[in-house]
Structure 1
Amino acid sequence: MGRQPFTVYGLLRTTDGLSSVSRQQVIKSTWFILSFYLLIFGVGLWVLLRILREPPHEDEAGPQSTLADETGDS
């Protein structure tokens, strides 16, 4: 008796609950998922670098210093 939540005690044995997925199917699906995530990461990185490459517009406000506000100095 183990901790298999998909089996029902007394109705389904653990060995009967095994899937008939081959080793090749597991390897192919793992590579597919890895490739998909690498593609999404690459597209996201490309978009981020494109955004960062553009200089700020002339009417765009730059970063504001809040150091004086945090220390209490005026």
Structure 2
Amino acid sequence: PRLGAVNSEPVDTSAGVLCLPMGAGLLGRVVDSQGQPLDHGGPLAGVTALPMDRSPINAMERDPVREPLDTGVRAI
């Protein structure tokens, strides 16, 4: 059997809405693709399961970004 997915491959969403944990409890944590902790830091606390299929925030209506987010990745 082949593992993974390729571009343009159909996806079956009949299992229901995909929800992932979101919130301050994720800061500094390492999670897998399903939102489960991988860092041996115990269960996630201070998070709420929210549906992945949500409308994006309108960039013109949200507060402006005031601090750059340093990811440690250098780009040219």
TM-score by length of 1: 0.20
Answer with 1 or 2: which has the greater Rg.
1
Greater RCO (Cα-Cα under 8 Å, separation 6 or more): 2
TM-score by length of 2: 0.19
Higher helix proportion: 1
Higher strand proportion: 2
